[in-house]
Amino acid sequence: MIKSCELCGIEKPAIKRPKTGQGICKPCFFSAIENEVHETIISSNLFHPGEKIAIGASGGKDSTVLIHLLDLLNKRHNYGIELHLLSIDEGIVGYRDDSLVTVKRNQEVYQLPLTIVSYSELFGWTMDQIVKKIGLNNNCTYCGVFRRQALDRGARMIGAEKIATGHNADDIAETVLMNLLRGDHFRLGKSTDIVTGEEGDMPRCKPLKYLYEKEIVLYAHYQNLDYFSTECVYSPNAYRGYAREFLKDLERIRPRAILDIIHSGEMLSVSAPAPAKMTCERCGNVSSNKICKACTLLETLSKP
Amino acid sequence: MSVHIAFSGGLEDLFNKQRNLTVPLESQLTLKQLVFHLKDRYLQTRPELFMSGDSLRPGIIVLVNDMDWELCGKDDYVVQDRDAISFISTLHGG
């Protein structure tokens, strides 16, 4: 058993870092996380002074840590960016309504503006109504496609230049695996990018790209951050679930596996041509087809 | 002896929504044995979300007196009287 922190040699160790295997104390852990995210932001040139950044805020652990870190680092290192919380209300009673209460509490804590956009105002349907109509098959597809567009539209509504999301290293490694298993070359090539959508009008970035889920959860725990953790009431995405379990099993044997998968993704050169970007003929949003995915799905809902 | 158990990150839903439990123990247990004990005596639903095979499900973080269990022997740690042991799930949405 390690007696003292392997970095400062003084305090009692609190966490074994998956990345390095070192046992470090809470203060050293906090500095390491904060410095590493700052490094990522600077080396990838994520933000520019004067920009308004919409933070995708779900109330969950990742977005709560993202809000905390961006607020802290923006003040500490004078990024000169304006932060605005953006939440999507999918209309899932017993799940999203509760998590939005958590977002509102954090809005108070950090004193940041919050905008909530709902599926019902944007698409005319709540997820509860969609599930009533189509059942528990494929409902995650609707939710995913709608959320993507809702974040874009919400960010435009508040005048943001960019969206920041709380995706962590585990999420990205998981997506690499899923795209590999599906043979989705185009997405595989992009899945490790820290900034995506630069060709469109609303780029997205992932400042927590290199943080392990374990680190995010323990950072939130040791900092006493207020986050919401309940499973969505509708069946979780089964395919992603398998990829996630597989990754967690790998991580138990060899924690570096998660970062190594990300590095493999980064080194891949994918020859698949990017699908042409156009605007949807129906709603005018960014699309890779004449009619965007959201409008196509909406059409299926309108059929009796 | 007894230990204090805390569940969070969604695990409380498997234990009758209880976030805190005081668990009396008749004999000294390792953490691995304690996990079985919790499953047999206290878990109400969906054991597959708490255990996988004969050990704790990967993706659940354990803290022993606020220290990462990976620093104190994991499964083999011998539970002491009045230890505070937290089980935190990382598997719920972000």
- In angstroms, the separation between the Cα of residue B40 and the nearest Cα of chain A is 23
Instruction: Report yes or no on A121 lying in a domain.
Output: yes
pLDDT at residue A1 in the model: 67
Same-domain pairing of A149 and A291? no
Tell me, what's the ipTM? 0.94
Pair A63, A259: CB distance under 8 Å: no
Q: What is the mean pLDDT of residues A89-118?
A: 95
Residues A151-182 pLDDT 10s: 999 999 999 999 999 999 999 999 999 999 98
Instruction: Report yes or no on A4 lying in a domain.
Output: no
Q: How many CB pairs under 8 A join A and B?
A: 77
Degrees (nearest 5) of the Cα angle A96, A99, A101? Answer: 115
Same-domain pairing of A105 and A233? yes
Same-domain pairing of A95 and A202? yes
pLDDT at residue A276 in the model: 77
Same-domain pairing of A235 and A294? no
Residues A41-60 pLDDT 10s: 999 999 999 999 999 999 99
Does B87 or B94 have the greater pLDDT score?
A: B87
pLDDT at residue A64 in the model: 97
Place of tokens 């998590």: A99
- The DSSP line for B43-54 is --S-GGGTEETT
Instruction: Report yes or no on A25 lying in a domain.
Output: no
- Which of B10, B92, B94 is opposite residue A168, by nearest beta carbon? B94
Same-domain pairing of A190 and A299? no
Residues A193-233 pLDDT 10s: 999 988 777 999 999 999 999 999 999 999 999 999 877 88
* Residue A88, pLDDT above cutoff 60: yes
CB contact under 8 A, B61 and A166: no
Residue A171 annotated as binding site:
yes
Q: Which of A15, A61, A64, A229 to mutate to test the interface with B (most CBs of B within 10 A)?
A: A229
Place of tokens 């969906």: B46
Structural domain count, chain A = 2
pLDDT at residue A164 in the model: 98
Same-domain pairing of A298 and A224? no
Same-domain pairing of A259 and A297? no
Chain B residue at shortest CA distance from A6: B71
Average pLDDT, chain A: 92
Pair B66, A14: CB distance under 8 Å: yes
A49 burial type by CB count under 10 A (0-12 exposed, 13-18 middle, 19+ buried) = exposed
Q: What is the mean pLDDT of residues A70-99?
A: 95
Distance CA(A213)–CA(A18), nearest Å, equals 10
Average pLDDT, chain B: 93
CB contact under 8 A, A13 and B67: yes
Same-domain pairing of A62 and A203? yes
CB contact under 8 A, A1 and B89: no
Which residues, other chains included, contact A114 with Cβ-Cβ below 8 Å and sequence gap of 6+?
A57, A84, A85, A86, A87, A103, A104, A107
Instruction: Report yes or no on A213 lying in a domain.
Output: yes
Distance CA(A224)–CA(A231), nearest Å, equals 21
Q: What is the CATH number of the domain that holds A266?
A: 3.40.50.620
pLDDT at residue A277 in the model: 79
Residue-number span of the structural domain to which A302 is assigned: 277-304
Same-domain pairing of A285 and A163? no
CB contact under 8 A, A229 and B71: no
Instruction: Report yes or no on A22 lying in a domain.
Output: no
- The DSSP line for A196-224 is E-TTSSS-EE-TTTT--HHHHHHHHHHTT
pLDDT at residue A229 in the model: 86
Instruction: Report yes or no on A86 lying in a domain.
Output: yes
> Which domains are present in chain B?
2-89 (3.10.20.30)
Q: Which two tokens stand for residue B92?
A: 């719920």
Pair A164, A66: CB distance under 8 Å: yes
Residues A217-274 pLDDT 10s: 999 999 999 999 877 888 666 677 788 889 999 998 999 999 999 999 998 876 666 6
Q: Is B89 on the interface with A (CB under 8 A)?
A: yes
Same-domain pairing of A103 and A235? yes
Pair A145, A293: CB distance under 8 Å: yes
Q: What is the mean pLDDT of residues B69-76?
A: 94
pLDDT at residue A188 in the model: 86
Q: What is the mean pLDDT of residues A124-142?
A: 92
A203 HSE (CA, 13 A, CB side)? 17
Same-domain pairing of A89 and A121? yes
Q: Is B49 on the interface with A (CB under 8 A)?
A: no
Same-domain pairing of A194 and A291? no
Torsion of CA A144, A161, A99, B15, to 10 degrees: 70
CB contact under 8 A, A61 and B94: yes
Q: With contacts defined as CB-CB under 8 Å, which chain A residues touch B8?
A: 221, 229
Distance CA(A209)–CA(A15), nearest Å, equals 20
- Which of A16, A62, A232 is opposite residue B68, by nearest beta carbon? A16
Q: Is B90 on the interface with A (CB under 8 A)?
A: yes
- In angstroms, the separation between the Cα of residue B14 and the nearest Cα of chain A is 11
- Which of B59, B73, B93 is opposite residue A60, by nearest beta carbon? B93
Instruction: Report yes or no on A85 lying in a domain.
Output: yes
With a pLDDT cut of 90, the percent of chain B lying above it is: 82
B10 HSE (CA, 13 A, CB side)? 23
Which residues, other chains included, contact A100 with Cβ-Cβ below 8 Å and sequence gap of 6+?
A59, A87, A89, A116
Which residues, other chains included, contact A267 with Cβ-Cβ below 8 Å and sequence gap of 6+?
none
Q: Which of B45, B49, B64, B70 to mutate to test the interface with A (most CBs of A within 10 A)?
A: B70
Instruction: Report yes or no on A44 lying in a domain.
Output: no
